[in-house]
Structure 1
Amino acid sequence: MTELYSRRSFLAGVLTAGTLSAAAGYVLTRRESVQLTLASGADPTGGRRLLVTMWNELNPGARIELKEVNSSTRDQYETFLRTRADIFNLDVIHIPRFADDGRIVPITPRGELQLLPMVRRLSERPGSDEFWALPFNTDVGMLYRRITDKAVADDKPDLAEVLARAPGEFVGQLRTVGPQTDEAFVINVLEHALAQDEAILEADGTISFSLGQWREAVGPLAAAIKDKKVRTEAGEDYTTRTFQRSDLRYMRNWPRSYPAIDRAERTKKDTAEVRIGALPNGIIGGQSLAVSATSENRDVAEEAIHFLTSPSSQMHLAKYGFAPTSLDAYIDQGLSEELPHLYDIRLAMESARPRPLLERYTEFSQFFADHMRRYLYDGEQLTQRFIEDLQGTLR
Structure 2
Amino acid sequence: MSHRDRRLLGTGRIRRRRSAVALGCLLVLASTACSGGSGPTPGPDDRGKAAPGPIVVASGLDVTGSGGVRQQLIKEWNERHADDPALQAKLVELPGGADQQRSQLLGALQSGSAGYDVVNLDITWIPEFAEAGLIRPLSDEDVVDTDVIAEIRRTSVWKGRSYARPFNSDVGLLYYRPDRLNAAGISLARQPTGNWTWADLGASIDTLTANRSRSGVEAGWTAQLDEYEGLTVNTIEAFESVDVQLADEKGHYKASPKSLKEGLEELRQRARKDRILDRAFSSEEPTSLADFAEGRVAFVRHWPYAFGALQNLLPPKDYSVNRLPGASVLGGQNLAVTTDSPRAAGARKLIDFLTSQESERCLLDAGFAATRTSAYDGTAPPCYPRVAEALHSAGPSPSASPDGEGGSWAQPAMMRAGYTFTLSEALKHAVQRPRTPYYGAFTQVLQSHVHAWLTSDGADAEEAAAGLDTALREAFSGH
Q: TM-score, normalised by structure 2?
A: 0.68
Query: Could you tell me how far apart the structure 2 residues matched to 1:342 and 1:281 are?
Result: 19
Query: Could you tell me how far apart the structure 2 residues matched to 1:332 and 1:165 are?
Result: 35
Deviation of 1:246 after TM superposition, in Å, equals 2.3
**Matched letter for residue 323 of structure 1:** A
Deviation of 1:34 after TM superposition, in Å, equals 2.0
Pick aligned residue for 2:313 from 264, 267, 273: 264
Q: Who wins on radius of gyration, i.e. which is larger?
A: 2
Q: Deviations over 1:338-366 (max 9, x none)?
A: 53312111221222111111110111111
Query: Could you tell me how far apart the structure 1 residues matched to 2:318 and 2:224 are?
Result: 25
Deviation of 1:32 after TM superposition, in Å, equals 9.0
Structure 1 residues 47 and 248, CA gap change in structure 2 (3 angstroms): same
Query: Could you tell me how far apart the structure 2 residues matched to 1:258 and 1:287 are?
Result: 19
Query: Could you tell me how far apart the structure 2 residues matched to 1:333 and 1:175 are?
Result: 40
Name whichever of 53-62 and 200-209 sits farther off. Answer: 200-209
Deviation of 1:325 after TM superposition, in Å, equals 0.7
- Is 1:56 the counterpart of 2:78 in the alignment? yes
Matched residue, 2:42: none
Query: Could you tell me how far apart the structure 2 residues matched to 1:116 and 1:202 are?
Result: 22
Deviation of 1:369 after TM superposition, in Å, equals 0.7
Query: Could you tell me how far apart the structure 2 residues matched to 1:206 and 1:142 are?
Result: 29
Matched residue, 1:122: 155
Query: Could you tell me how far apart the structure 1 residues matched to 2:473 and 2:248 are?
Result: 19
Deviation of 1:190 after TM superposition, in Å, equals 1.7
The answer on whether the counterparts of 1:39 and 1:87 sit within 8 Å (CA) in structure 2 is yes
Query: Could you tell me how far apart the structure 1 residues matched to 2:144 and 2:368 are?
Result: 22
Deviation of 1:42 after TM superposition, in Å, equals 0.2
Matched residue, 2:300: 251
Query: Could you tell me how far apart the structure 2 residues matched to 1:158 and 1:203 are?
Result: 26
Query: Could you tell me how far apart the structure 1 residues matched to 2:418 and 2:427 are?
Result: 15
Q: Deviations over 1:360-383 (max 9, x none)?
A: 011111111111011100243314
SS of the counterpart of 1:104?
coil
Query: Could you tell me how far apart the structure 2 residues matched to 1:39 and 1:371 are?
Result: 32
Structure 1 residues 351 and 332, CA gap change in structure 2 (3 angstroms): same
Matched residue, 1:35: 54
- Is 1:350 the counterpart of 2:399 in the alignment? no
**Matched letter for residue 367 of structure 1:** V
1:216-235 equivalent positions in 2, closer than 5 A: 216-223=262-269, 225=271, 227-231=273-277, 232=280, 233-235=282-284
Matched residue, 2:444: 366
1:1-395 equivalent positions in 2, closer than 5 A: 34-45=53-64, 46-60=68-82, 61=85, 62-80=87-105, 81-82=107-108, 83-108=114-139, 109=142, 114-124=147-157, 126-127=159-160, 131-148=162-179, 152-153=188-189, 154-156=191-193, 157-167=196-206, 168-176=219-227, 182-195=228-241, 197-200=242-245, 208-223=254-269, 225=271, 227-231=273-277, 232=280, 233-262=282-311, 264-266=313-315, 271-332=317-378, 339-379=417-457, 380-381=459-460, 382-395=464-477
The answer on whether the counterparts of 1:284 and 1:353 sit within 8 Å (CA) in structure 2 is yes
Query: Could you tell me how far apart the structure 1 residues matched to 2:286 and 2:417 are?
Result: 23
Deviation of 1:387 after TM superposition, in Å, equals 0.2
The answer on whether the counterparts of 2:138 and 2:163 sit within 8 Å (CA) in structure 1 is yes
SS of the counterpart of 1:293?
coil
Matched residue, 1:17: none
Query: Could you tell me how far apart the structure 2 residues matched to 1:216 and 1:85 are?
Result: 44
Query: Could you tell me how far apart the structure 2 residues matched to 1:306 and 1:90 are?
Result: 16
Deviation of 1:174 after TM superposition, in Å, equals 1.4
Same amino acid, percent of matched pairs: 25
The answer on whether the counterparts of 1:284 and 1:354 sit within 8 Å (CA) in structure 2 is yes
Query: Could you tell me how far apart the structure 2 residues matched to 1:301 and 1:71 are?
Result: 25
Structure with greater strand share of residues: 1
SS of the counterpart of 1:184?
helix
Name whichever of 359-368 and 372-381 sits farther off. Answer: 372-381
**Matched letter for residue 188 of structure 2:** V
**Matched letter for residue 40 of structure 1:** S
Structure 1 residues 386 and 198, CA gap change in structure 2 (3 angstroms): same
Query: Could you tell me how far apart the structure 2 residues matched to 1:31 and 1:55 are?
Result: 18
Deviation of 1:247 after TM superposition, in Å, equals 4.9
Q: TM-score, normalised by structure 1?
A: 0.81
Query: Could you tell me how far apart the structure 1 residues matched to 2:369 and 2:131 are?
Result: 27
The answer on whether the counterparts of 2:151 and 2:428 sit within 8 Å (CA) in structure 1 is yes
Deviation of 1:217 after TM superposition, in Å, equals 2.6
Deviation of 1:281 after TM superposition, in Å, equals 1.1
SS of the counterpart of 1:102?
coil
Aligned length: 355
Unaligned runs of 5+ in 2: 1-48, 109-113, 207-218, 383-412
The answer on whether the counterparts of 1:203 and 1:354 sit within 8 Å (CA) in structure 2 is no
Taking only aligned residues, the RMSD between alpha carbons, in angstroms, comes to 2.8
Deviation of 1:163 after TM superposition, in Å, equals 3.6
**Matched letter for residue 348 of structure 1:** A
Q: Deviations over 1:309-340 (max 9, x none)?
A: 11110011001111111111121169897533
Structure 1 residues 32 and 175, CA gap change in structure 2 (3 angstroms): closer
The answer on whether the counterparts of 1:146 and 1:274 sit within 8 Å (CA) in structure 2 is yes
Q: Deviations over 1:232-285 (max 9, x none)?
A: 142111110011112522110011221221453216xxx444223244211111
**Matched letter for residue 66 of structure 1:** L
SS of the counterpart of 1:85?
coil
